[in-house]
Amino acid sequence: MSIQRSPPGLGKSAFPTSFSDTDIANSTLKSDSPLNITQRPNKYLKRPRDDDVSYELQLFKAEMKELMTSMIASQNERMSDFMSKQNDRLVIMEEHIKVVKDQNCSIHTTNQDIEKSMNLLSDDIKNIERKINTMEQERKVTSENLSIMKEKIELLERQSIKTCIEIRNVPKKQYESKEDLFGYIKRLCGDLRFQLKESDVRDVYRGYSPKEIKNSSLILELQNTIIKTRLLNSIKNYNIQNPQAKLNSSNLGFSDNKQIIYASEQLTQKMKRLFYLSRELAKETNIAFVWSTNGRVYIRQNEKAPHIMIRSEEHIDEIRTKCKSEAQK
């Protein structure tokens, strides 16, 4: 077995002396050292000791603790800031909610007041409706009673003038007396050859007319309707027999301003109105005859048709509508 030995002549002085880290550091500080020694990389340094590792770990822990403390403090500060802002917002929101709640309470109170007012108003309206219904019924009753009263007044007025004759378009004369008026009637009856006694006349007077109008009516009130009818028939016959010289103012004794006069039985204001409307109706339609007798107004379409007594203006409108519909057929 061969044993290799170290080469001869090589001793401890043949190799460079190794240094520790401390020695290397000290050697570098010596300016008269002839050695130029290069430090090895860290990987070739010797393994650190356990005390150094523990110290570094503690230092790392302290740094991490400080870092975490700083982060937590910053986070707490930010959270405190956030919470403060949120608290402010919550306070503002609570104030708004309180305002809204107060408004809702006020609206609720107002609605209650409005509801009470509406209920009162509804009750008032119902009371008014009941009163209106009552008044409407009373109005109908009053209207019916008024119509009855009008009819009675019309009847009384018709009875009061049933013996009267109205002579229209008679010239006026100043300072006329009853004798003058009766003289006009006597002259007229003389031309008619109608015997009229003073005892047959109850009254004679002028009808009302404005001062600026030169003509007016002469009202002759007789004792009974028989004399009235006879006198009216005499006037009618005279006009038929003298178509070119019908009764005029000269027959009453007026020598000046000769003008035609018209005589008919006196009518109430209502019958005068109906008589006028009936004559206008005759002009519009095929009605041939319009006349009045016994205080009433009558019409007839032709000689063979029955006569129709006019009751009211509405009755005239109905006849007009009927005549127009018949004319269209």
Give the CA distances from residue 37 to residues 32, 45, 46, 194, 290, in Å, rounded to whole numbers and listed in that order: 13, 15, 17, 187, 164
Sequence letter at residue 158? R
Query: How confident is the model over 196-216, as pLDDT tens digits?
Result: 988 999 999 998 888 888 889
**Contact criterion met (CB below 8 Å) for 278 and 180:** no
Q: What is the pLDDT of residue 50?
A: 62
Q: Could you please report the per-residue DSSP string of 30-49?
A: -TT----PPPPPGGGSPPPP
Q: What is the pLDDT of residue 138?
A: 93
Q: What is the pLDDT of residue 49?
A: 58
Q: Give the angle subtended at the CA of 182 by the CAs of 179 and 187, to the nearest 5°.
A: 120
**Contact criterion met (CB below 8 Å) for 296 and 309:** yes
Which portions of the chain are predicted below pLDDT 70? 1-50, 329
The C-alpha atoms of residue 13 and residue 281 are separated, in whole angstroms, by 170
Q: What is the pLDDT of residue 203?
A: 92
The C-alpha atoms of residue 277 and residue 285 are separated, in whole angstroms, by 12
Q: What is the pLDDT of residue 134?
A: 94
The C-alpha atoms of residue 95 and residue 106 are separated, in whole angstroms, by 16
Q: What is the pLDDT of residue 301?
A: 87
| Block residue for tokens 């430090």 | 39
Q: Which of 264, 256, 170, 153 is nearest to 213 (CA)?
A: 170
H/E segment holding residue 287 = none
Q: What is the pLDDT of residue 309?
A: 93
